[in-house]
Chain A
């Protein structure tokens, strides 16, 4: 009798795509609202985005049950932080906390592909991108999820300097204005929706700037 393999997995992939772009004084975080399993759609109206603090917003694609659990843990930790320090967590602090929280489950990971966006202590936009076990980096823009492979090359083309020699590697803020960035995000999702079956229905965008936080929703193809 051939060796039996495990046919039950604790994980499932609910699909979806997340994108974030950081500007000089704003940050855009966006994610589609489609939740799938296999080749089926579970719902067309599920938010993958959560506001963790005043100036930190997280979007996560992957296994949404793990994403929800991760969101709850971070929200509870943020409450504790506020009680102890009498202030909100800064975005870089939240970034480190997310990394630690993910690595804490290094040997049974959260199946979550995260993008954290917000404003740093100087008011500049910041985006942090993660893998499932907490490896992270501050970047000017990022995409995660099923449509990431379609979107990232496009963002590289639009936002990255043609030669790494002209722009220093540490540049973590894009030169776009807020309106231009939002338009770019919409274009990204419209394009990804065309070819990625797991991306579509609607895209939910959150924009953080000095005035506060704004939410915008755009319809996408439903097929």
Chain B
């Protein structure tokens, strides 16, 4: 009810104890096209949907290599994402210059989160309008983090952000318990299935999605189009259902239900930052 009165400045609290500008920034993340991340003990897969603004233009880059052992997928204002990727790359280069070893992922996401927090407490700044899925491998294993515009960050086994990400999240919620011990190939396949959920029936081709992987003994890289198309063809030939699925419900039926939930506005009372 007071949303419009207290949302001019990021440094203005609402009577309910919320910063509306930060919440609006998180809305921007939901507007971007989907990005998905999953991890096993040894690998992290980041995938995204290539949405072009028109048929004439090319799609925006949403997955960036930060270092050999870290990659990031973004959703939201891609310009903000590009700037943050450049920051992350710089931090990695400076750390390995000084310490001759790769920057631990946990440290990088904290630095990123602190950087985002600064923008929520300066009247002359605005929050970054981008959500980042940071995947990395360090001495403590493979990790997947999600960095919010609010300055919060969380570690995930698997996550999806952006538009229609709820469909992917539903799929991931069903399968995530098996991810830790997944093989590299199964992890990529699950990423493709999750990505397909967000396409909502649209034909899945290698031109519409980008898949990237990093892992033990494998530097971060984006899979080329032919490899991705081959993987898509493989599971398209097998059948529409994802393999080894014990549940009765087919993924297509489940895709319909989350879509309705996606459309409903977030509850005005709850503060979405308190996840």
In the complex, are the beta carbons of A72 and B93 less than 8 A apart?
no
A83: chain B residues within 8 A (beta carbon): 65, 86, 89
Whether, in the assembled complex, B97 has its beta carbon less than 8 Å from a beta carbon of chain A, the answer is yes
Measured in the bound complex, the distance between the Cα atoms of B220 and A79 in whole Å is: 14
In the complex, are the beta carbons of A76 and B89 less than 8 A apart?
no
Q: Contact partner of A76 among B65, B86, B93, CB < 8 A?
A: B93
Whether, in the assembled complex, A80 has its beta carbon less than 8 Å from a beta carbon of chain B, the answer is yes
Give B134 Cβ to nearest chain A Cβ, in Å: 16
What DSSP secondary structure best describes chain A's contact surface?
Answer: helix
A80: chain B residues within 8 A (beta carbon): 89, 93
- In residues 62-108 of chain B, which contact A (Cβ within 8 Å)? 65, 86, 89, 93-94, 97
Give A76 Cβ to nearest chain B Cβ, in Å: 5
B86: chain A residues within 8 A (beta carbon): 83
Give A82 Cβ to nearest chain B Cβ, in Å: 9
The size of the chain B interface, using a CB distance under 8 A, is 6
Task: Specify the chain B residue showing the minimal Cβ separation from A79.
Answer: B93
Per-residue contact bits, chain A 74-95, to B (CB 8 Å; 1 contact, 0 not): 0010011001000000000000
In the complex, are the beta carbons of A72 and B97 less than 8 A apart?
yes
- In residues 36-75 of chain A, which contact B (Cβ within 8 Å)? 72
Give B253 Cβ to nearest chain A Cβ, in Å: 42
Task: Specify the chain A residue showing the minimal Cβ separation from B92.
Answer: A79
Give A21 Cβ to nearest chain B Cβ, in Å: 32
B65: chain A residues within 8 A (beta carbon): 83
- In residues 7-31 of chain A, which contact B (Cβ within 8 Å)? none
Measured in the bound complex, the distance between the Cα atoms of B68 and A79 in whole Å is: 10
B97: chain A residues within 8 A (beta carbon): 72, 76
Measured in the bound complex, the distance between the Cα atoms of B93 and A72 in whole Å is: 10
Give B204 Cβ to nearest chain A Cβ, in Å: 26
Measured in the bound complex, the distance between the Cα atoms of B93 and A79 in whole Å is: 8
A76: chain B residues within 8 A (beta carbon): 93-94, 97
Measured in the bound complex, the distance between the Cα atoms of B94 and A76 in whole Å is: 8
Measured in the bound complex, the distance between the Cα atoms of B65 and A79 in whole Å is: 11
Give B64 Cβ to nearest chain A Cβ, in Å: 8
Task: Specify the chain A residue showing the minimal Cβ separation from B66.
Answer: A83
Give B176 Cβ to nearest chain A Cβ, in Å: 32
Give B67 Cβ to nearest chain A Cβ, in Å: 8
Task: Specify the chain A residue showing the minimal Cβ separation from B65.
Answer: A83
Give B103 Cβ to nearest chain A Cβ, in Å: 13
Measured in the bound complex, the distance between the Cα atoms of B91 and A83 in whole Å is: 13
Per-residue contact bits, chain A 202-220, to B (CB 8 Å; 1 contact, 0 not): 0000000000000000000
Measured in the bound complex, the distance between the Cα atoms of B90 and A79 in whole Å is: 10
B93: chain A residues within 8 A (beta carbon): 76, 79-80
Measured in the bound complex, the distance between the Cα atoms of B92 and A83 in whole Å is: 12
Give A67 Cβ to nearest chain B Cβ, in Å: 16
Task: Specify the chain A residue showing the minimal Cβ separation from B61.
Answer: A86
Task: Specify the chain A residue showing the minimal Cβ separation from B64.
Answer: A83
Measured in the bound complex, the distance between the Cα atoms of B97 and A72 in whole Å is: 7
B94: chain A residues within 8 A (beta carbon): 76
Give A173 Cβ to nearest chain B Cβ, in Å: 34
A72: chain B residues within 8 A (beta carbon): 97
Give B114 Cβ to nearest chain A Cβ, in Å: 22
Task: Specify the chain B residue showing the minimal Cβ separation from A72.
Answer: B97
Give B157 Cβ to nearest chain A Cβ, in Å: 29
Task: Specify the chain A residue showing the minimal Cβ separation from B94.
Answer: A76
B89: chain A residues within 8 A (beta carbon): 79-80, 83
Give A142 Cβ to nearest chain B Cβ, in Å: 29
Please report A residues at the B interface, Cβ cutoff 8 Å: 72, 76, 79-80, 83
A76-B93, A79-B89, A83-B65 known, 4 other contacts, Cβ within 8 Å: A76-B94, A76-B97, A80-B89, A83-B89
Across chains A and B, which 4 residue pairs bring their CB atoms closest together, nearest first?
A76-B93, A76-B97, A83-B89, A79-B93
